[in-house]
Amino acid sequence: MGKTKSGKATTGADELLKTIFQYIVKISNERDVDKLLVNLADMGRDLVSADRCTVWLVNREAEKIWSKVAHGVDRIEIPLSKGIAGHVAETGEHLVINDAYNDDRFDQQIDIATGYHTRNILALPIEDSKGEIIGVYQAINKVSGNKNFTKKDLEHLLLAASYTGKQLEVLAYAEEIKLTQREIILTLAETGEMRSKETGNHVKRVAEYSEILAEAYGLPSDQVKLLKDASPMHDIGKIAIPDSILLKPGLLTDEERTEMKTHTTLGHDMLKHSDRELLKAAVIVAYQHHEKWDGTGYPRGLKGEEIHIFGRLTAIADVFDALICKRVYKDPWPVDKIIAMFIESKSKDFDPQVVDAFLKVQDKMIKVSVELDDTIS
């Protein structure tokens, strides 16, 4: 045990720094909001020796505060005007409450709903770089010493809150960028579909189908989300196909069909310069959704697992939509005929495992085709 010049033990300070740096390593590169909130709550809990800790986020528009993660419970959402956390979010006060049930600001309904008993509470605001309150740090039930929170605990949690504000602000900016990217992609995709006299619902359906298939196939949740956001761009290259071919009512000539196939390469070339994860995924989808499992597809004749899983999943999503929906040149196929086609094409046109996944979730995909029918605005 080390000592300061005055002879006092430094164990407390050393442990505090150790805890802080341990969590900084975990938190600094985390971009998933759920995991970030888990780590932030863990850090606050350990810094003040609490039983539970919650990081609340403020939604001013909805006049609510919410937490995706709180120790021992699932998502909580409460009015901004209720409870200790709501009071702190509105007033910015720093609170040490060692007898929760004798404090009029404490909302006992959460304890009633969860079966938990709150003895004492430590709560303070989380601010962004502009001094705006964006959240609340709340620790519950001290578990060490005399089991009462102190001003020293408040100081320790304030350290966590200061760091948390910066991390949440960075995450908010990152999420805003992602949201903007998704909006741009969907708008571009819908524009391309309208030019080819399809409705924007086609790209929305393909996005939903891709998500359903990816989950059934077993992709990790972050990859499922990424594919859903990227798949609407599968036909973006058609924007560069001449109207004389794209809008031709009859059958295409061999020469016209060859030019139509270039939409995959055109889409790739439009998107390939971005280093953003979402647009890189969109490049894959645009370039590979017409490749076939047996190597007879285009534009590169990729075979089997040479085709990225995003391309293999979007291929089935796109073909399913083309068959089950009415188009200007065809009536919808009966469901049994579509299923028979996919079974027949298994290990030829399509990845057999993706076909198996499709057969498990066909009902969900049919439901999407009805809910997002082209007649629905």
- In this predicted structure, what is the pLDDT of residue 352? 97
pLDDT at 361 over 70: yes
Name the pTM for this structure.
Answer: 0.57
Examine the domain organization and report whether 216 and 311 are in the same domain. Answer: yes
- In this predicted structure, what is the pLDDT of residue 74? 61
- In this predicted structure, what is the pLDDT of residue 6? 34
- C-beta of residue 47 within 8 angstroms of C-beta of residue 156: yes
- In this predicted structure, what is the pLDDT of residue 377? 44
Q: pLDDT > 90: what percent of the chain? A: 45
131-154 pLDDT, tens digit per residue, is 889 889 999 999 998 999 998 898
Q: Kindly report which listed range (31-45, 81-95, 291-305) carries the lowest average pLDDT score.
A: 31-45
Examine the domain organization and report whether 352 and 223 are in the same domain. Answer: yes
| Mean pLDDT within 188-211 | 74
pLDDT grade for 161, boundaries at 50, 70 and 90: confident
pLDDT at 298 over 90: yes
Report the CATH number at residue 361.
Answer: 1.10.3210.10
Examine the domain organization and report whether 295 and 366 are in the same domain. Answer: yes
Examine the domain organization and report whether 86 and 207 are in the same domain. Answer: no
217-235 pLDDT, tens digit per residue, is 999 999 999 999 999 889 8
Q: Which residues pair with 122 in a beta bridge?
A: 96, 139
Q: pLDDT > 70: what percent of the chain? A: 79
- C-beta of residue 245 within 8 angstroms of C-beta of residue 259: yes
Examine the domain organization and report whether 137 and 209 are in the same domain. Answer: no
Examine the domain organization and report whether 27 and 63 are in the same domain. Answer: yes
- In this predicted structure, what is the pLDDT of residue 9? 34
Q: Is residue 1 part of a domain?
A: no
pLDDT at 283 over 60: yes
- In this predicted structure, what is the pLDDT of residue 344? 96
HEC string of the chain equals CCECCCCCECHHHHHHHHHHHHHHHHHCCCCCHHHHHHHHHHHHHHHHCEEEEEEEEEECCCCEEEECCECCECCEEEECCCHHHHHHHHHCCCEEECCHHHCCCCCCHHHHHHCCCCCCEEEEEEECCCCCEEEEEEEEEECCCCCCCCHHHHHHHHHHHHHHHHHHHHHHHHHHHHHHHHHHHHHHHHHHHHHCCCCCHHHHHHHHHHHHHHHHHCCCHHHHHHHHHHHHHCCHHHHHCCHHHHCCCCCCCHHHHHHHHCHHHHHHHHHCCCCCHHHHHHHHHHHHCCCCCCCCCCCCCCCHHHCCHHHHHHHHHHHHHHHHCCECCECCCCHHHHHHHHHHHECCCECHHHHHHHHHHHHHHHHHHHHCCCCCC
Instruction: Write down the mean pLDDT value for the chain.
Output: 83
Among candidate residues 64, 142, 204, 238, the one labeled active-site is 238
Domain with 260, as residue range(s), is 196-371
Is residue 238 part of the annotated active site? The answer reads: yes
- In this predicted structure, what is the pLDDT of residue 196? 56
Examine the domain organization and report whether 27 and 127 are in the same domain. Answer: yes
